[in-house]
Structure formats: structure tokens, C-alpha cells
Amino acid sequence: DAGVTQSPTHLIKTRGQHVTLRCSPISGHKSVSWYQQVLGQGPQFIFQYYEKEERGRGNFPDRFSARQFPNYSSELNVNALLLGDSALYLCASSLTGDVSIEAFFGQGTRLTVV
Amino acid sequence: TQLLEQSPQFLSIQEGENLTVYCNSSSVFSSLQWYRQEPGEGPVLLVTVVTGGEVKKLKRLTFQFGDARKDSSLHITAAQPGDTGLYLCAGPLSGGYNKLIFGAGTRLAVHP
């Protein structure tokens, strides 16, 4: 069975550019969450979507946005990239949005902003 | 503000040694999770502890949830090189839904 898949795996962008990261959840999972992991730190919550609706947003600027599609895949968009946006972006999928349900993480997209 | 502090930040030991890593908070959590993350990979869930005072064992790994549900520990017996990785604790953010707050992690290196 396919796990959570994220694309691309690595990306290099220039300051001021825009980036779109993609996530396909495990088949049957309806919830997708996005996390940012800066080098040397734990993942930090960005967004959660369940049944195509935003159910939670972390403390990130409006340059960050996301959406979930009818097939439950998701995109994370970041505008006007800053050097500080360089990080590993992780997508986690779960059956429902309930915190007691195990979330499965993808391998992440490594974004480098130069 | 809910925060999780992990200690130590780094741990370098020889194969066969025992170790304990800690996860502490001033806030009460309904549950805490432990993950292991290897370079270039996403975190993988090891265990979820739910009840204050709970102890769970996973082969050579023993997890404990504090009585007050504000802290947790992970003890590894007879560490092996395969245990090398970043150990993260995480708890649910207030407000429900599957959004977690993570500690900064303990980076463990086990040398043969």
C-alpha cells in the first residue's frame, strides 16, 4: 500500500518567488495536515484540512495558504519566499481529523530559498 | 501557550548502554506521542500514552507518562546502532483536531 507521498522531494527557489508543494494522503484518509520543520527543531503545525475544509491554522503569516481537493490530496502554497522559509515541509494524513487517530507522515519536501 | 521541552538535545553513546530522554511541559496534555525521525524521512509514530502514570513497552523501549500528564520519558535498554535518530515527543494542541505541538527533539547517536 502506498504511504503518504509528497512532491517534489527537493526544491530550490529564489527569495520573492512562489512555491507549491503537493501531498497525496493514504487511500481512504480524509484529513491532511502540514508542518514546517526548520533544521534542528521539531515540526511546527501550519494547517489542517478535513473533508476539504480548513480545520486549523498555526501561527504562520498569510503568505502561507493551502487547500484540499475532492480526492483529498492537498497543496501548500507559499508566496514571497523568504530565506527563513527554508525548511522540510511535512504532510501528515489520517483517517479523520481526530487527534486520537494516528497520523502518518510523508518523507517531506526539502525547500531551500536562496 | 503549550510548550514541550525535550532533554537532552544531543546524546552520543556506545552500543549496549542504557539511556533516558525526557519530555516536559508546564501544561497538561490529554495524551503524548513519541516519534522517531531518520534523516530525509518523516517522523514515524512509536507510541501514544494517554493515562497518567501509564507505562508502555515496545521491545527495548519503555515509555512513561507522568501522573500529572505534564511529562513523559523514553528509556532505551541496551541501545543499538539502529536506534540512532531524532526522537520527538508531541502532544495535541488545544482546540482538538489532529494538530500536534512537537518538542525540538533529542538527537541520539549510538556507536558500534
Q: How confident is the model at residue A1 (pLDDT cuts 50, 70, 90)?
A: low
Best residue in A99, A101, A109 for a mutation probing chain B (most B CBs within 10 Å):
A99
pLDDT over 60 at A100, yes or no: yes
Instruction: Return d(Cα A51, Cα A84) in angstroms, integer.
Output: 31
| Alpha-carbon distances, residue A2 vs A33, A76, B41, B59 (angstroms) | 18, 21, 15, 27
Residues of A with Cβ-Cβ distance to B98 under 8 angstroms? 31, 33, 48, 50, 92, 94, 96-99, 101, 103
Tell me what pLDDT residue A25 has: 96
Range B18-31 average pLDDT: 94
Domain boundaries, chain B: 5-111
The candidate with the shortest Cα–Cα distance to B72, out of B33, B18, B30, is B33
User: What is the band of A110 on the pLDDT scale with cuts at 50, 70, 90?
Assistant: very high
Structure confidence at residue A66 (pLDDT) = 97
Using 50, 70 and 90 to split pLDDT, how confident is the model at A101?
confident
Q: Name the residue among A79, A78, A72 with its Cα closest to residue A5.
A: A72
* B contacts of A48 (beta carbons < 8 Å): 97-99
Q: What mean pLDDT comes out for the span B3-7?
A: 95
Query: Residue A20: CB partners within 8 Å, gap ≥ 6?
Result: A75, A76, A77
**Residue B11: half-sphere exposure toward Cβ, Cα within 13 Å:** 27
Q: Which amino acid is at B16?
A: G
* pLDDT of the residue at B85: 96
pLDDT digits (tens, 9 = 90+) for A56-71: 899 999 999 999 999 9
C-alpha cell at position B20: 533516558
Mean pLDDT of B69-87: 97
Query: What's the CA gap between A31 and A73, in Å, rounded?
Result: 9
**Model pLDDT, residue B97:** 61
pLDDT of residue B95: 60
User: What is the pLDDT at residue B68?
Assistant: 94
Q: Which CATH architecture has domain B5-111?
A: Sandwich (2.60)
What is the number of alpha carbons within 13 Å of residue B19 lying toward its C-beta? 22
Inform me whether the C-beta atom of residue A4 falls under 8 Å from chain B C-beta atoms. Answer: yes
Instruction: Please report the sign of the dihedral spanned by the C-alpha atoms of residue A47, residue A86, residue A82, residue A22.
Output: negative
Domains contained in chain A, CATH given = 5-95 (2.60.40.10)
